[in-house]
Amino acid sequence: MDKSSFDINDIMGMLPHRYPFLLVDRIMSVEPGKSIVGLKNVTYNEQFFTGHFPTLPTMPGVLMLEALAQVSGILAVLQSGLRPDAGLILYFAGIDGCRFKRPVVPGDQVLLHSELIKHKRDLWKFATRAMVGNELAAEAEMMCVLKDTSRKPAATSEPIVT
């Protein structure tokens, strides 16, 4: 795709996530192979606010990280041409230097920044940050690994013991 911004329909073609777990509403800008900026509009009707926390609705930090990972995944898709319908998917492999600096609450617009640090074979590394206005909400370095989900493990006659 030779576009620099993408709407929700474009995003759903690049990520396997769906409601309520699709956490990117729009891609604002892309510098192919280098960086991306996405947008998450945080609204009071998000499912997680009913329990986190009912009297002080706050977006869970792990969901901010997930939104940053999804934006990073879109950057990888745009660079490599990966598509979820091809049976290839990026999984979280690690997080380094994660810091939360500001709560994200209903009404906030979170800009999700991701910069590709390194890509080698099936491993991708990104520097990410979530911003609300000029304030840093969260930052982390993330590693993702590419997996082929179309190949199923061979069947075995041995019982699985857990």
Scanning the structure block, which residue is given the tokens 């000029």?
Answer: 134
Selection from 110, 118, 121 nearest residue 70 by Cα: 110
Please tell me which residue in 17, 52, 113, 119 is annotated as part of the active site: 52
CATH for 8-148, options being 3.50.50.60, 3.30.450.20, 3.40.50.2020, 3.10.129.10:
3.10.129.10
Q: Is the CB of residue 42 less than 8 Å from the CB of residue 106? A: yes
Strand, coil or helix: 117: strand
pLDDT of residue 147: 86
pLDDT of residue 3: 84
pLDDT at 157 over 80: no
119 is catalytic: no
DSSP state for residue 156 in the 8-state scheme: -
pLDDT of residue 154: 54
Beta strand residue intervals within 54-155, DSSP E:
88-100, 109-120, 123-132, 135-148
pLDDT at 9 over 70: yes
pLDDT of residue 162: 45
* Range in 28-32, 135-139, 149-153 the model is least confident about: 149-153
Q: Is the CB of residue 94 less than 8 Å from the CB of residue 142? A: yes
- pLDDT (tens digit, 9 = 90+) per residue, 54-108? 899 999 999 999 999 999 999 999 988 877 777 778 898 999 999 999 999 999 9
| pLDDT mean across residues, the chain | 91
pTM of the model: 0.90
pLDDT of residue 119: 96
